Amino acid sequence: MTSSLVIVYHREPYEEYAVDGQRFLKENASPNGIIPALKGVITRVNSASWIAWKELSDESAHLFTRNVHIDDSYGSYNVVRLPLSRAQIEQFYFITSKEALWPVINSFPSYYSTQYTDWSVFREVNRHFADAICEEAEEGGLVWIHDYNLWLVPGFVRALRPDLSIAFFHHTAFPSADIFAILPWRDEILSSLLQCDLIGFHVPRYAHNFARTAQSLCAIDQVNTLPVASSCRSIGGALSETSVPSEIIYQQRSILIDSCPIGPHTQMIIDFVQTDEIAARVEEIRKIHREEIIIVSVSRIDYSKGIVEMLMTFERLLQRRPELCGRIKLLLTAVSAANGMRIYRQSEQTIEQTVGHINGLYGTLEWVPVVLSTTAMPFEETMCHYRAADICWVTPLRDGLNLVAKEFVASHVNAGGVLVLSEFAGAAIELSDAILVNPYSRNQMDDAIDRAIDMPYEEQKQRMTKLGKQVLRNNISNWTDHMLDLFRKISAQHESNGLTKLARRTSFWKSERRWK
């Protein structure tokens, strides 16, 4: 049975676990993050499928099931799992995506390498995704593709199924034209993306970068722009823009360009952290970490996340302000990369060595300045640590958005707390009442953490109130409604152009109700 909506992402939409040698599937423990956000759309359509890859070994081949039917709190939908060998995953994801594409996307050309890249495997995997989409989508259906490692999928789908509406969303940054031009496959990538009906980004800067890149490298007929919404206009920041591309005209086709930042389940977090049970856990965390000032930072190990720069700033803080020794603690969660990610090995070693250096130089038998965990915390425990912390320190060198910053704000609504946020994180254009900092500047980093530590409680509450209103406004419900409105628009456009034989506007959607 085909589906009216096909969501395409490299990860499966559930967690898998084993009991007594048997494999079971369960709903994602965390209601936040990319996967729950995408699954939220499933509740609003009549039929949906999700396509992801699944590693298949010779030993597990006899247990493999390509199609899995799921019934969970988001509804009923089909999951198509594409069997990839370990060698294909290694080349497609660990090498090409992370060693060649990721450094360019995040504007770190010095990390760019094609030494071990086999582009033909990347292309082959993208073709497998496209073939699965074409089998799964009903006539005139909508395909929603996610992230850069599936850049070639739209081109294959358009050639095979011109009746489909194709939407693509980038969860990452997008580089400037001169950085993107480093990629030897730039023409193939752009040719594919320009087969979409809709291309989305979190923030206007990355939408501009894409449009300018397309203008630079392709024969674009026209780019139309609109003023940036006031809620995402932060003049003077590293990612500030006053306009945003809204449409590209290419080969007599209209391609919608969109900018809308995803958000957390804000109200759910607010309600969660204010329960008596969570309040007790927060108090317990404060007793375990008896320091007067608790700083929390949550990220994954990646050179783009600025973790080493943050740690060096923390070391300078202890050296510059010795009266803080014994009174302050940094709780750092830096989740290790998956096995096979060679590009991150050096970053992980450097982080561990820097933490060891700080603790060895400044710590005592009674006090450890930095507590490092490379294992992801469950959602509930993460929220408790956010609530217990006085400061959240999130200073990536480059980030498409950064949900950690928004989650911290949601956990501190109606309370104090300070958010120190890199102006190179996409979320910075929304969260102007955070302490915004250039993480490339030692002096600015030093000044930012000093300001956070010394900020009076009344100022903390005033800033957090403004931040809370912004996060409540741009929450996950807003993003979902916005995307669904765009889907209606491109579906109607396809129908008016005669590319779709079915008038699906009444059968595609379950209802017109909005999320609350």
d(CA 167, CA 17) in angstroms, rounded, equals 32
Nearby residues of 375 by Cβ (< 8 Å), 6 or more positions away: 333, 335, 336
- For residue 514, what pLDDT is reported? 39
List the chain residues with pLDDT less than 50.
501-506, 512-516
Vertex 501: Cα angle to 497 and 504 (nearest 5): 95
- Half-sphere exposure in the Cβ direction for 4 (13 Å, CA): 19
Handedness of CA 361, 366, 368, 369 (dihedral sign): negative
**End-to-end Cα, the chain, rounded Å:** 31
d(CA 422, CA 429) in angstroms, rounded, equals 10
| CA dihedral of 135, 13, 413, 394, whole degrees rounded to 10 | -100
Whole-model pTM: value is 0.94
Q: Tokens for 271, please give them.
A: 């309600």
Q: Please state whether beta strands 165-169 and 48-55 pair in parallel, antiparallel, or not at all (unpaired).
A: unpaired
Most distant CA atoms of the chain, gap in Å:
74
Instruction: Using CB atoms within 10 Å of the CB of residue 110, give its burial: 0 to 12 exposed, 13 to 18 middle, 19+ buried.
Output: exposed
The amino acid at residue 279 is A
- For residue 259, what pLDDT is reported? 96
3-state secondary structure of 444: helix
C-beta separation of 433 from 467 below 8 A: yes
Return phi, psi of residue 343, to 5°.
-65, -20
Q: Tokens for 149, please give them.
A: 């490692």
DSSP H or E stretch at residue 204: helix 204-217
How far, rounded to the nearest angstrom, does the alpha carbon of residue 185 sit from its chain's CA centroid?
24
Buried b / exposed e over 115-148, threshold 16 CB at 10 Å, is eebebebbbebbbbbbebbbebbbebbbbbbbbb
Distances (CA, A) of 239 to 202, 357, 448, 486: 12, 34, 18, 24
Nearby residues of 339 by Cβ (< 8 Å), 6 or more positions away: none
Domains, the chain, in order of start with CATH, read 85-263+475-496 (3.40.50.2000), 266-473 (3.40.50.2000)
d(CA 125, CA 406) in angstroms, rounded, equals 34
